[in-house]
Structure 1
Amino acid sequence: MKIGILTQPLQANYGGLLQNYALQQVLLRAGHEVETIDWTPSYKSLRYRLYRIKWTILSFLFPKKFPKLKYQPTDDEKKVIQQHTNHFISTYIHHTKTIMFKDGFRHQAKVGKYDAYVVGSDQCWRPCYNAFLSSMFLDFAKDEKVKRIAYAASFGTDQWEFTQEETLICSPLAQKFDFVSVREDSGVNLCKDHLGVAAIHVLDPTLLLTKEDYILLIEAEKEPKAQGTLFNYILDPDTVKSAFINRVAKERGLKSFQVLPKCQAETRTKDDIKNRIEDCVFPGVTTWLRAFMDAEMTIVDSFHGMVFSIIFNKPFWVIGNANRGMSRFTSLLKVFHLEDRLLDANQLHEVDINRPIDWSSVNAILEQKRNECKNLLLTQLSK
């Protein structure tokens, strides 16, 4: 069976790339032909300009929920910034040419001749992260006789963020799916209440592979040993988080380290990109993976930072970030009975950093859920 995957764009996002890689691997190992239908909106297109205008208005009205848009690097600047992540994409992910305009999805459907589509994961159904929202509900293939699967599709939040118009467009498209599963447990109710479809809760694709699968990637790239023992992967740094990291490092006798550009994507400026672009370059995907492999403890504020801490059995603390969506964290932590690892940024001084994790229990749950989710996905495709 030839399968087209739709997810977020293949860019410099470690978790996004690895969830796509993992989903492809599960399908390839089952004997399917797979490619990801890659996309990114053209910053020159009218649609993308309107999208930026809409976001700018929303960021003015609701600054906490919609942060200001950053400078958009040129194509040449992106090649430099994403040189290492692009290596991972070109080496390990089967993908189409990048679609930049909405009509490109319909064209790709014709030339791709897919038997099935799998949509998911990584907040692919969150409007504020998706300029082609209806395409993630397969509007371009609504009249085709194909299998339609949503695997671990994510809204990223437990709140309904679609406009009335978006809901009216996407709900009938969702009802054409043969099977819908979501990454967060809250997504089950969102699907039922707003899209009119029954959905089930499943694991993120990254959890469908084992630690050994990721170690093989690290070894294939001959990735050198990490630079420390306390891996802090913080996408939204501040003085409170930094103080907590320093405290943990001191009390546990660990060396803190990061795997991020010196100028992080969330805070870099146009001036940074124009005058010190080398400080904006993302380290490689396997460099990031190696950090989890070698760390003795991790402190993160990202969903996939939490996921890979679990996969590699590293004692971890995850600092919640409401703006990025809390249900992503709480939903997964509940599965493994690890709710106590989620920290409130305002109460970091109260944390008992020596609190252990029962990894035998976590791993038993993971193995059971992994098998259930893989079997469910593959069974739905074979129906």
Structure 2
Amino acid sequence: MKIKTITCHEVYNYGASLQEYALLRYLENLGHEAETIHYKPPYLSKHFKLWIVSNEFFNKNIILRGIYLILKLPKRLINLKRKRKFDEFSIKYIKTGNRLYRSNEELKDNVPEADAYICGSDQIWNSFFENGKDATFYLDFVPNDKLKLSYAASFAIDELEDDIKGFVKEKVSNLDHISVRESSGKRILENLGFDKVTQVLDPVFLLDPKEWTRLMLPQVEEDIINKGKFIIVYDFDNDPVIKELAERLKKEKGWKIYAFNEMIDYADKNFYLDGPEVFLSILNNAECILANSFHAVAYSLILHKNIAVFNRSDKINTRMRDLLQSVELNNFLLNKDTISDYKLDIIDYKQVQDKLDVLIEKSKKYLDTALEN
């Protein structure tokens, strides 16, 4: 079967890139011909632009604009290294059509040919962002005689604003099969009147851990191992609570701190300019992972790592909370009042894996059955 997927594409985020790869790879493992649609609307195309002025104050006149750009340019040129690494990963591992689409109208005018279309995974339906209000991510452009389904689509929030509910209900109604990643997403759709919604795992869980090992870089792993033990900080908010725990573990264990976010200035080494393969390679050798990232938590479970999980500041925490609840690790969602009780090496990963295996089988069954129909 020829299948086209659509997700937030080339947004230069580790989780976004790896989940996109995972779904395509799983479909290929089933014997399908799978490609992602090269969809880049303007609101998802602003990454690493050298001449963008993001502060309106400096847009007031040409002199202020010039000063702003001159000050920003050196750092932006350095950050292009990150873009190149992600682009190399996409070219190597993520199959996509040659045509670039920038709007829903362009897709409707020239629909990419396929037997089935899948929207998901990641936060494609998060209405805090533009993608959640974009009909494209609900497969609005696909003719009604084609098979349309969602896989692990995420709202990433607990409830919808009233003004978006009608839009979501209308667009989701056109799907032949519906699955979401979080129980909160299932509840959102059930409250809109949908009674056949399946909760599934993120695509990264569809692949055997050995498949992730194949993406890792032996030389990176060897270099890292030779430099001693370390913990990973993956923190989008520069959370002082995460910093406190990281520095405590460093002091107690003598471990180094490695990070993947530019703003983490207390790390012994920061890998934010590196691509997904380095990300996986380093996570695979960490003693512990401290994160407010959903996919960092997901890979911690896949790789059987010590974890400490923290909420984000922007109210998109249902993803991590739900994943931890699904394997009964709720007590590893920490805050400033509970980090003092944090202990290493107490996760029974045999029990966790047993629970994951049941959820993985359910997720595969949904996708296999939907495509067979």
TM-score (norm 2): 0.82
Relative to 1, partners in 2 of residues 1:294 and 1:80: Cα closer, same or farther, differing over 3 Å?
closer
User: What is aligned with 2:155?
Assistant: 155
Provide, for residues 300-336 of structure 1, a one-character-per-residue CA deviation record: whole Å limited to 9, x for no partner: 1100010001110001101112514121111111111
Asked whether 1:16 is paired with 2:7, we answer no
Asked whether 1:358 is paired with 2:360, we answer no
Relative to 1, partners in 2 of residues 1:144 and 1:210: Cα closer, same or farther, differing over 3 Å?
same
User: What is aligned with 1:267?
Assistant: none
Provide, for residues 72-110 of structure 1, a one-character-per-residue CA deviation record: whole Å limited to 9, x for no partner: 99x99985441001111110001134322332222441x
Give the aligned residue type for 2:155: F
Give the aligned residue type for 2:181: R
* Structure 2 stretches lacking a partner, 5+ long: 46-55, 57-71
Q: What is the Cα-based RMSD across aligned positions, in Å?
A: 2.9
On the 8 A contact 2:152/2:179 being kept in 1, the answer is yes
Distance in structure 2 (CA, Å) of the matches to 1:149 and 1:331: 22
Which deviates further from its counterpart, 22-31 or 365-374? 365-374
Give the aligned residue type for 1:153: A
Relative to 1, partners in 2 of residues 1:100 and 1:195: Cα closer, same or farther, differing over 3 Å?
farther
- 3-state SS of paired residue (1:24): helix
Distance in structure 1 (CA, Å) of the matches to 2:279 and 2:247: 21
- 3-state SS of paired residue (1:357): coil
On the 8 A contact 1:191/1:198 being kept in 2, the answer is no
Distance in structure 1 (CA, Å) of the matches to 2:145 and 2:78: 41
Asked whether 1:315 is paired with 2:283, we answer no
On the 8 A contact 1:244/1:348 being kept in 2, the answer is no
Which structure is higher in RCO with an 8 Å CA cutoff and minimum separation 6?
1
Relative to 1, partners in 2 of residues 1:286 and 1:80: Cα closer, same or farther, differing over 3 Å?
closer
Provide, for residues 108-134 of structure 1, a one-character-per-residue CA deviation record: whole Å limited to 9, x for no partner: 41xx21111111111100122234621
Asked whether 1:211 is paired with 2:213, we answer no
- Match for residue 294 of structure 1 among 285, 295, 314: 285
User: What is aligned with 1:236?
Assistant: 237
Asked whether 1:373 is paired with 2:366, we answer no
Distance in structure 1 (CA, Å) of the matches to 2:34 and 2:192: 31
Give the aligned residue type for 1:368: V
Aligned residue-pair number? 338
On the 8 A contact 2:116/2:147 being kept in 1, the answer is yes
User: What is aligned with 1:273?
Assistant: none
User: What is aligned with 2:174?
Assistant: 176
User: What is aligned with 1:114?
Assistant: 114
On the 8 A contact 1:297/1:315 being kept in 2, the answer is yes
- 3-state SS of paired residue (2:283): helix
Give the aligned residue type for 2:169: S
User: What is aligned with 2:196?
Assistant: 198
Distance in structure 2 (CA, Å) of the matches to 1:105 and 1:113: 11
Which deviates further from its counterpart, 151-160 or 245-254? 245-254
Relative to 1, partners in 2 of residues 1:36 and 1:44: Cα closer, same or farther, differing over 3 Å?
closer
TM-score (norm 1): 0.80
Give the aligned residue type for 2:321: T
Relative to 1, partners in 2 of residues 1:238 and 1:342: Cα closer, same or farther, differing over 3 Å?
closer
User: What is aligned with 1:53?
Assistant: none
Give the aligned residue type for 1:99: Y
TM-aligned CA deviation for residue 289 of structure 1: 0.3
User: What is aligned with 2:32?
Assistant: 32
**Identity within the alignment, %:** 28
Distance in structure 1 (CA, Å) of the matches to 2:77 and 2:39: 17
Distance in structure 2 (CA, Å) of the matches to 1:353 and 1:98: 49
- 3-state SS of paired residue (1:169): helix
On the 8 A contact 2:217/2:281 being kept in 1, the answer is no
User: What is aligned with 2:106?
Assistant: 104
